[in-house]
A and B are shown apart, each in its own frame.
Chain A
Amino acid sequence: MTSPEIKFSSDNTTLTCSLSGSWTTQELAGVIAQTPNKNKSGYKEQIFDLTAVEVMDTAGALYFLQYQDDVETSGQKTSLKNAPKHVRQILDTVEKHRIKECPPETTLKGVKKLLADTGESFFKIMAQGRELVSFLGLVLNAFGKQLINPKCIRWTPLIAQMEQIGIHALPIVGLISFLIGVVLAFQGAGQLERFGAQIFTINLVAVGVLREMGILLTAIIVAGRSGSAFTAQLGTMKVNEEIDAMRTIGLDPIDVLVLPRIFGLILVLPLLTFYADIMGLLGGAAMTMITLDLSLFQYIRYLQDAASLGDFFVGMIKAPIFAFIIALIGCHEGLQVSRSAESVGRQTTRSVVEAIFFVIVLDALLSILFSVMGI
């Protein structure tokens, strides 16, 4: 394959342009770079000799036609000479379909784009908030119906969800809580040693784990593990039209899919939190036994002084609240999936980010509330 070329030869009034080589998409860049603009004007007539063109594809034809246009708009006549049949055919086809004025790109730039994007995301967030609130209404409505008529509660999916959310999460929640206990004790001991108050490491571990770390980490793990799973499961069902099918059969997806997940999580998260608390305290125990040289019984005795029942309940009371938020967001985002596989991924990411965001914000607010109340 030879690269495309235009050779020019002129007498006073006419310019003969001899085209040669293969005018294909891959080779075209060369000729575009070579073709000087000066040859486009200054003659009465330009003759294009196409004898030596080996191949011409649509891109090549388009470039040639545009070149010819340029020549004609500068007031010169043009004519084709010796065009082989296959070249003439492609030129005709392209001439018929090409658009003389390519539509300009209608994208905004700079500050305008920034403003437009900001406005757009603001309205998107507002719309999402509204949708979440209306979804909350739907769920509470279905919840109320089930309370009045407990026969409607679907036990099988509820138990299945509890197994999936709870039992299968035990290893990861346990390990992470244990390690957090270890880290708190280790860092705490290092700092408190300076005051000679090493024994207060146990207070740090107890209060830290029971009030904050136990529940917060469990909620974050569950949001990443189960919240995302809710979105992906419901989203896939949405893509497959399974949820539409359910509606036509007369099943309410809120009853069948959403409520078991929300209840499952509300029932399980406190249990997981309790387990995480125990594992965190054990992690703290393991570390304090090493750094402070205490026995397990001594640790437990100090622990009784350090932590009150109030600390424990401050942590536990948050569990059902966080559970409700994680499950609500997970299910809501799942049902927001449009009919493309791509949106399942997008909604899943959004569900995890939103759930963790709300959990942490709410945790901060509750901390302030509890401290104002003096608990």
Chain B
Amino acid sequence: MPKGLKSQDFVISLKDIRNQFGYQILHDHLDLDIKKGEVLGIVGGSGTGKSVLMRTIVGLNQKTAGTIKILGQDVDQISQVELASLRQRMGVLFQDGALFSSLTVSQNIEAVINEHTKLPAQFVREVAALKIALAGLPVEAGSKYPSELSGGMRKRAGIARALALDPDILFLDEPTAGLDPIGAAQFDSLIAKLQDTLGLTVIMITHDLDSLHAICNRIGVLLDKKIKVGTITELTKETDPWIKEYFGGPRGRAATRSHD
């Protein structure tokens, strides 16, 4: 296995995570282990802290308590330099791409690579073109500014930038939100393809039941400040009313039927 990992190792493991804002406790004693190469979907009602959980793992939100291990390293125990290089191994796609609006798509990717390497400019441009193609965008998209792209293309461009440094772990925040069903299905298959060919571990927050069925190996449900993880089949057997309603409601049943 690459980069000195054993296959049974967890890529990310959270233990006893607590997130508290003022008097409001979002997560308490939350444990989560993410396996290498899996696609984990995270669901939960609004206000249950899906985004906060993702931001906590990526390091954008300071947790109140608990330990986070990423690729075997405890983020609180390692130095700033090690943390910085650990961060390079994670890519994040924000909801609307969060591309730098003053740069073209290609420059958005080149900027990331140039910041961390000393590669020749021409080669960096070619790498950027490769990432753009990997994300399923046409070549011409590289010279466009984010404001000139449609929502779906911006998301693809966002993925291309997230992949700039070939991360091991890819975080996606509602990747199919705001896309039409055809675009959403194409995006699902893009994620599945990238996950397969680049050997990524993907963690995605989503409300799209079709995505959950189509590409997620396991699903984590945020409930009562904790997370309950399992495959869809396992979760449908749960007795919790929210989970029952989520997978057994009209939309949940429709999605199950179409993927059976």
Binding site for B on A (CB under 8 A): 1, 22, 24-26, 28-29, 32, 54-55, 57-59, 62-63, 66, 86, 89-90, 92-94, 97-99, 102-103, 105-106, 338, 340, 342
Contact = CB atoms under 8 A, between A and B. Distances in A.
Interface residues of B, number: 34
A58 B198 contact: yes
Interface string B133-146: 11000011011000
Interface string B105-146: 000000001001111101101110111011000011011000
B143 A58 contact: no
Contact of B117 (A28, A94, A340, A342): A28
Contact of A103 (B2, B85, B143): B143
A58 B130 contact: yes
A86 B197 CA distance: 9
Contact of B88 (A22, A26, A63): A26
Nearest to B128: A102
A275 B19 CA distance: 54
A106 B143 contact: yes
A102 B198 contact: no
A90 B147 CA distance: 32
Point out which of B85, B102, B123, B164 has the most chain A C-beta atoms below 10 A from its C-beta: B123
Contacts, number: 88
A102 B126 contact: yes
Contacts of B129: 98-99, 102-103
A26 B116 contact: yes
A1 B3 contact: yes
Given A25-B113, A106-B143, A90 B197 contact: yes
A62 B126 contact: yes
Contact of B139 (A25, A66, A99, A342): A99
B203 interface: no
A59 B166 contact: yes
Nearest to B199: A86
A97 B143 contact: no
B101 interface: yes
Given A26-B165, A54-B3, 19 more contacts: A25-B164, A25-B165, A28-B119, A32-B120, A32-B123, A58-B130, A58-B163, A86-B2, A86-B199, A90-B198, A93-B134, A93-B198, A98-B129, A102-B122, A102-B129, A103-B129, A103-B140, A106-B143, A342-B102
Contacts of B113: 25, 59
Interface string B158-174: 00000111100000000
11 contacts: A1-B3, A25-B117, A25-B166, A58-B131, A59-B119, A59-B130, A93-B197, A98-B130, A99-B126, A103-B143, A105-B125
A96 to B, nearest CB: 9
Point out which of B101, B127, B131, B143 has the most chain A C-beta atoms below 10 A from its C-beta: B127
A214 B6 CA distance: 77
A102 B132 CA distance: 12
Given A103-B139, A340-B101, A54 B117 contact: no
Contacts of A338: 147
Contacts of B143: 103, 106
Point out which of B118, B122, B163 has the most chain A C-beta atoms below 10 A from its C-beta: B118
B119 to A, nearest CB: 5
B119 A97 contact: no
Contacts of B122: 102
Contacts of A106: 143
A92 B134 CA distance: 12
Contacts of A59: 113, 119, 127, 130, 166
Given A62-B130, A103-B143, A342-B101, A55 B2 contact: yes
B128 to A, nearest CB: 9
Contacts of A63: 123
A66 to B, nearest CB: 7
A330 to B, nearest CB: 24
A97 B133 contact: yes
Contacts of A24: 166
Interface string B29-49: 000000000000000000000
Contacts of A32: 119-120, 123
B134 A97 contact: yes
A11 B123 CA distance: 31
B143 to A, nearest CB: 7
The 3 A-B residue pairs with the shortest CB-CB distance, nearest first, are: A57-B166, A97-B133, A93-B197
A34 to B, nearest CB: 13
Contacts of A55: 2-3
B159 to A, nearest CB: 13
A290 to B, nearest CB: 52
A102 B166 contact: no
A93 B126 CA distance: 15
B13 to A, nearest CB: 22
